[in-house]
Amino acid sequence: MAGVVEPCKRHTFELSKRIPATGLRVVFAKPTTIIDEFEAYSRRYTQLRLVKFLYGGNPSPNNLALLDTMNFASSSHQEHPMDAINDRNYGEGSTWRPNFTNPVRGQHFVGFQWRAGRHWIGAIALGRDNKDEYRNRIPEKYVVQYTHVRATQHTPDAVWGTIGVLPYETWHMPHPTLRHVYNLEFPVRARAVRVIVDSDSAIDELEVYTEPFPEVIRFKGFGGTFQEGNLARSAGARAFASGDFPSPSHQHPHLNDGIYGNEHSWIPAPQRRHGLYFGGVQFGKQEWVMAFAWGRDNTNKERDRAIGSYTIQYSIQMADENSPESVWITLGTVDITPTSFPEPHRRHIINLSRAIRASSVRIVLGDSTLCIDELEVYGRRIMA
Ligand SMILES: [Ca+2]
Ligand SMILES: [Ca+2]
């Protein structure tokens, strides 16, 4: 145990694969060693991993929390009932809060069981106020748990297994009040889930998914040029946008005209569409997508209009500027700052941890001053 922090505490060790066994023993190197308890499990411990860049946004399709559930809580504030955690609505007006004078076994928690059987869980999402109006009542940590059995607020703690502990006070995550998405290291099969919180905290929505979310991986290089198989320029592909800046140099067909540079770029109109500024490409059919590349001016002349936020979204439908917001699924938000990206105006590459099926993709811009000279989409990971 050399090098272990707090060596007298319980520690967990995992095997890389399961072994059949009729017994286990521990052999000591020294006769003075003492063990207070030896535990063995047939399953791995799972953990929640924050999906980098994936915060805010809307619920994705197939949110298992919207199936037929029976909710429970340690207690509920009278204006913040437990059914608010899976009512499809974000924001303070649709938030659960505990009644802090009434813990159950010293804890405050909220959760639900599915009325019809168990589900595999590969990802969860939760937050305090995804409308970003209230930044108080964020707990020091959320503890997310699951159980195989039907559960209520009276179910003993021993029946619950911990999926993950989310230490918000030390993670320094971007926008802690917003919804964040977490993937499980290993999926679990559950009949019920619950979240234990501090006494004065709040949750506006708890989402549960079977499929883990693809993760956004930024390639460290920049520049480079077109590669084989750019889906944005495949037969039938068509660019669309929230609107175009009134200049012939900045029209949305330039998003995929195959030419870099300011004269062949797109800048949004100053008016929002569906409350957003966005530009994208519809492929005309479903494709596997695994990489994106875009920049402000890959010819290295114009260096303005690059610093800002870029949210990557996709749709499994033939979506464009007229589609409702509900068809779009967020992959992540990439913030280009003067220091986060070398040469911020140049072409940069974003890879995904796994491929997605998509008929359309779009980039939602943080503000109307940003410019994209070319949006490229590939079905495989790429490098510059
Ligand atoms: Ca809600
Ligand atoms: Ca172009």
Instruction: Give me the mean pLDDT over the 184-194 stretch.
Output: 94
Distance 279 CA to ligand 2 centre (A): 12
Distance 210 CA to ligand 2 centre (A): 38
Distance 128 CA to ligand 1 centre (A): 10
CA distance 58 to 91: 12
Q: What is the pLDDT of residue 5?
A: 63
Do domains 48-209 and 216-378 share one topology? The answer is: yes
Distance 304 CA to ligand 1 centre (A): 40
**Superfamily in which the 48-209 domain is placed by CATH:** Galactose-binding domain-like (2.60.120.260)
| Residues whose CB is less than 8 angstroms from the CB of residue 39 and which lie 6 or more positions away in sequence, other chains included | none
Which ligand gives the minimal distance to the CA of 373?
A: 2
pLDDT-based confidence at 382, cuts 50/70/90? very high
Asked whether 373 and 253 are in contact (CB, 8 A), the reply is no
pTM value > 0.85: no
- Around 223, how many Cα atoms within 13 Å sit in the side-chain half-sphere? 5
Distance 178 CA to ligand 2 centre (A): 34
Q: What is the pLDDT of residue 2?
A: 54
Q: What is the pLDDT of residue 144?
A: 96
Asked whether 306 and 365 are in contact (CB, 8 A), the reply is no
Instruction: Give me the mean pLDDT over the 151-175 stretch.
Output: 87
pLDDT tens digits, residue range 199-212? Answer: 889 999 999 999 99
pLDDT tops 90 at residue 308: yes
Instruction: Give me the mean pLDDT over the 217-243 stretch.
Output: 96
Which ligand gives the minimal distance to the CA of 82?
A: 1
Q: What is the pLDDT of residue 267?
A: 98
* CATH class held by domain 216-378: mainly beta
pLDDT tens digits, residue range 323-358? Answer: 999 899 999 999 999 888 889 999 999 999 999 999
Q: What is the pLDDT of residue 94?
A: 98
Q: Show me where the domains of the chain are located.
A: 48-209, 216-378
Instruction: Give me the mean pLDDT over the 138-146 stretch.
Output: 93
Percent of the chain with pLDDT over 70: 98
Which ligand gives the minimal distance to the CA of 130?
A: 1
Distance 129 CA to ligand 1 centre (A): 9
Distance 265 CA to ligand 2 centre (A): 5
Distance 314 CA to ligand 2 centre (A): 20
pLDDT tens digits, residue range 39-82? Answer: 888 776 778 988 988 998 888 889 999 999 999 999 999 999 99
Q: What is the pLDDT of residue 14?
A: 75
Q: How many of the other CB atoms lie within 10 Å of CB of 28?
A: 9
Among 73, 366, 109, CA closest to 242: 366
Distance 268 CA to ligand 2 centre (A): 14
Which ligand gives the minimal distance to the CA of 226?
A: 2
Which ligand gives the minimal distance to the CA of 203?
A: 1
pLDDT tops 80 at residue 126: yes
Distance 185 CA to ligand 1 centre (A): 26
pLDDT-based confidence at 3, cuts 50/70/90? low
Token representation of residue 309: 């936020």
Which ligand gives the minimal distance to the CA of 259?
A: 2
Distance 66 CA to ligand 1 centre (A): 11
Q: What is the pLDDT of residue 284?
A: 96
The secondary structure of 243-307 as a DSSP string is ---SSGGG-GGGGGSS--SGGG-B---SS-BTTBEEEEEEEEEEEEEEEEEEES-TTS---SS--
pLDDT tops 80 at residue 237: yes
Distance 82 CA to ligand 1 centre (A): 9
Distance 335 CA to ligand 1 centre (A): 27
Distance 92 CA to ligand 1 centre (A): 8
